[in-house]
Structure 1
């Protein structure tokens, strides 16, 4: 059987998976502090999906890495996409735009204990009261799925 070569695209794609975890009127967030980001911003726990993972597997792994918690995904909340211009990309790779696909799940904690990621893209994980979320510097996914 002959395989057809993949169609060429003039952009890159990044698949990410994230979790919304709410407990006792608090939401679990991670402080995103990569050097390329000019201000510290709160994010949903999650991140890039590895080549050999499903989005669900990536979400579970990323939550564990960023927060120390084991989670069970309980539902799919949605999928967001946006395009990042080449000059806005954090890891500058030539002059190609990047299409970001973000899969967002609902999840519950099943084990582990709260810890902070070491050597990753976040430096702190914290349970934040839902009422305080609108006042935070936060990424768009939080605005969309929490407030």
Structure 2
């Protein structure tokens, strides 16, 4: 399939793990078409926005935290049929390490896709409903260690 035959969605996320082995996650509400689940804070990049800037913006919107971007940890893509349009799309996702430099925990979105954010102990994550991007990020983190 040629690049003009499908849509592309760029997204960037932050993996934030604290000294108590807790990961900062955003509760994605499913937007009326999927079951709610935990996700990494992050999301879609605006048309004329650098990927890093989009990640910083999305993390703030979903968690209330200001972050300093770190290195790229993982990149991942998948293809699927569109839910809001007829045709195929490619989702290209980037996960960055990041450090919290300010802000206050609490979602700043109004009527957005994130209901709240929370620090979730890694040991309690098993069995929790979560987006695959969480597992992509944690696997990349484990591979670096």
Query: What TM-score does the superposition give when structure 1 sets the normalisation length?
Result: 0.87
| Equivalent position of 2:27 in the other structure | 31
Which stretches in structure 1 are left out of the alignment for 5+ residues? 1-6
Question: Number of aligned pairs?
Answer: 136
- For residue 134 of structure 1, report the CA deviation from its aligned partner: 1.9
The counterpart of 1:101, out of the listed 92, 97, 102, is 92
The counterpart of 2:115, out of the listed 117, 123, 137, is 123
| Equivalent position of 2:143 in the other structure | none
Which stretches in structure 2 are left out of the alignment for 5+ residues? 140-145
Query: What TM-score does the superposition give when structure 2 sets the normalisation length?
Result: 0.88
Following TM superposition, the consecutive aligned residue runs of length 4 or more in structure 1 with deviations greater than 2 angstroms are 34-38
- For residue 37 of structure 1, report the CA deviation from its aligned partner: 3.3
- For residue 8 of structure 1, report the CA deviation from its aligned partner: 6.2
| Equivalent position of 1:110 in the other structure | 101
Q: Distance in 2 between matches of 1:36 and 1:102?
A: 22
- For residue 137 of structure 1, report the CA deviation from its aligned partner: 0.4
Q: Distance in 2 between matches of 1:123 and 1:139?
A: 15
Query: Relative to 1, partners in 2 of residues 1:8 and 1:84: Cα closer, same or farther, differing over 3 Å?
Result: closer
More helix by share: 2
The counterpart of 1:17, out of the listed 8, 12, 28, is 12
- For residue 85 of structure 1, report the CA deviation from its aligned partner: 1.7
1:61 and 2:53 aligned: no
- For residue 118 of structure 1, report the CA deviation from its aligned partner: 2.6
Q: Distance in 1 between matches of 2:34 and 2:100?
A: 31
